[in-house]
């Protein structure tokens, strides 16, 4: 349609003239119309060809857009929302660091944190309902990618003026002193390791209070004789605002590897690659002893 000539169109597409003539023949059979008729020095389009021209140009433009490499992601001007699944203690640690970077480098990027749900996490990553999960995932699916962020450990916190616990805690004190714990539908990997260590002693833990937030734990521990187990990174943050002792857990519990998880389908998306690196940079230096 652009050249009005079989030979000129063949030269433009670097085809032989017979090959181009065959292509035109296939188009004529497909549309049951001659499409281009011989004229004086050029070919004349039929009415059907003129009707098709705009539609075909639009299809070709769409195809070119699909096949063209996506435009570079510019965080300074981008407008996007990322959804991250993470436990509340990780949210408390990571959100301030991450938002400080986002406000400075990508003000149009919004962030949603979602409470952990191990049963739905994989399905939500597959469907795109969430973009990332942060935490421990002992046996992630093969369709997931991961990046280690930092290592941490569990510690015990008690108020500084605790009448019985002063600078260290024995196994018997740990078992006999009432604990406060965050109430979740499923015990997290970290708390499960505490329960396993206690069970190995054929003993039980005195959990006297279950609350909904880390904020509540810090205030309960500050104002009562209850103790709690939290990660060391979180304990340090809480101790900045509350008079707390940070004590080693007197039981053999494994260290914690905190990682970032995402689905293979987003591995090459420029905005996801950028966010993964930003998050990793934001938590550098965050680790337990």
Domains and CATH numbers, the chain: 6-67 (1.10.10.10), 80-148+263-282 (3.40.190.10), 154-248 (3.40.190.10)
User: What does the pLDDT read at residue 29?
Assistant: 95
- Residue 30 corresponds to which tokens in the numbers above? 């497909």
Radius of gyration, alpha carbons of the chain: 31
Residue 118 pLDDT class (50, 70, 90 cuts): confident
Residue ranges in 68-164 assigned as alpha helix (H): 88-105, 118-127
Q: Which residues contact 246 (CB under 8 A, 6 or more apart)?
A: 155, 156, 157, 232, 235, 236, 239
Q: Could you tell me what percent of the chain has a pLDDT over 70?
A: 97
Residue 206 pLDDT class (50, 70, 90 cuts): very high
- Whether the per-residue pLDDT at 189 is higher than 80: the answer is no
- Whether the per-residue pLDDT at 184 is higher than 80: the answer is no
Residue 289 pLDDT class (50, 70, 90 cuts): low
Over residues 12-61, the pLDDT tens digits come to: 888 899 999 999 999 999 999 999 998 888 899 999 999 999 999 999 88
Answer with the residue of higher pLDDT: 188 or 121: 121
Return phi, psi of residue 230, to 5°: -140, 175
Please, what is the average pLDDT of the chain?
91
User: What does the pLDDT read at residue 104?
Assistant: 94
User: What does the pLDDT read at residue 117?
Assistant: 87
Over residues 226-252, mean pLDDT: 94
Residue 138 pLDDT class (50, 70, 90 cuts): confident
Over residues 232-238, mean pLDDT: 92
User: What does the pLDDT read at residue 68?
Assistant: 73
Beta strands in 65-178 (DSSP E): 80-85, 109-114, 132-135, 144-152, 154-159
User: What does the pLDDT read at residue 288?
Assistant: 59
Distance CA 34, CA 208 (A): 86
Over residues 152-161, the pLDDT tens digits come to: 999 999 999 9
Over residues 76-102, the pLDDT tens digits come to: 999 999 999 999 889 999 999 999 999
The closest of 236, 249, 117, 248 to 196, measured between CA atoms, is 249
Q: Could you tell me what percent of the chain has a pLDDT over 90?
A: 75
pTM check: above 0.75: no
Return phi, psi of residue 220, to 5°: -65, -45
User: What does the pLDDT read at residue 146?
Assistant: 95
- Whether the per-residue pLDDT at 175 is higher than 60: the answer is yes
Work out the angle at residue 139's Cα, subtended by the Cα atoms of residues 148 and 155, and round it to the nearest 5 degrees.
Answer: 60
User: What does the pLDDT read at residue 199?
Assistant: 93
- Whether the per-residue pLDDT at 187 is higher than 60: the answer is no
Return phi, psi of residue 50, to 5°: -65, -35
Over residues 50-65, the pLDDT tens digits come to: 999 999 999 988 888 7
């Amino acid at each position: 349609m652009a050249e009005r000539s079989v030979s000129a169109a063949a030269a433009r597409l670097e085809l032989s003239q017979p090959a181009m003539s065959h292509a035109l023949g296939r188009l004529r059979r497909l549309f049951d119309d001659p499409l281009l008729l011989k004229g004086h020095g050029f070919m004349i389009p039929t009415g059907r060809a003129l009707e098709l021209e705009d539609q075909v140009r639009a299809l070709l433009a769409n195809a070119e857009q699909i096949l063209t490499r996506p435009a570079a992601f510019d965080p300074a001007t981008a407008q996007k929302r990322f959804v991250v699944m993470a436990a509340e203690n990780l949210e408390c640690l990571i959100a301030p660091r991450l938002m400080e970077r986002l406000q400075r480098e990508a003000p149009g990027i919004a962030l949603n944190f979602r409470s952990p749900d191990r049963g739905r996490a994989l399905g939500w990553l597959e469907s795109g309902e969430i973009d990332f999960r942060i935490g421990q995932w002992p046996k992630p699916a093969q369709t997931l990618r991961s990046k280690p962020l930092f290592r941490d450990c569990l510690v015990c916190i008690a108020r500084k003026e605790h009448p019985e616990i002063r600078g260290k805690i024995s196994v018997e004190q740990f078992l006999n002193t009432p604990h406060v714990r965050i109430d979740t539908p499923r015990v997290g990997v970290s708390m499960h390791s505490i329960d396993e260590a206690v069970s190995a002693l054929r003993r039980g833990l005195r959990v006297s209070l279950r609350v909904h937030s880390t904020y509540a734990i810090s205030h309960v521990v500050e104002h009562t004789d209850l103790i709690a187990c939290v990660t060391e990174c979180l304990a340090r943050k809480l101790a900045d605002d509350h008079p707390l002792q940070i004590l080693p857990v007197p039981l053999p519990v494994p260290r914690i590897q905190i990682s970032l998880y995402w689905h293979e389908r987003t591995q090459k998306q420029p905005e996801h690659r950028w966010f993964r690196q930003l998050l990793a940079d934001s938590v550098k230096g965050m680790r337990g002893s």
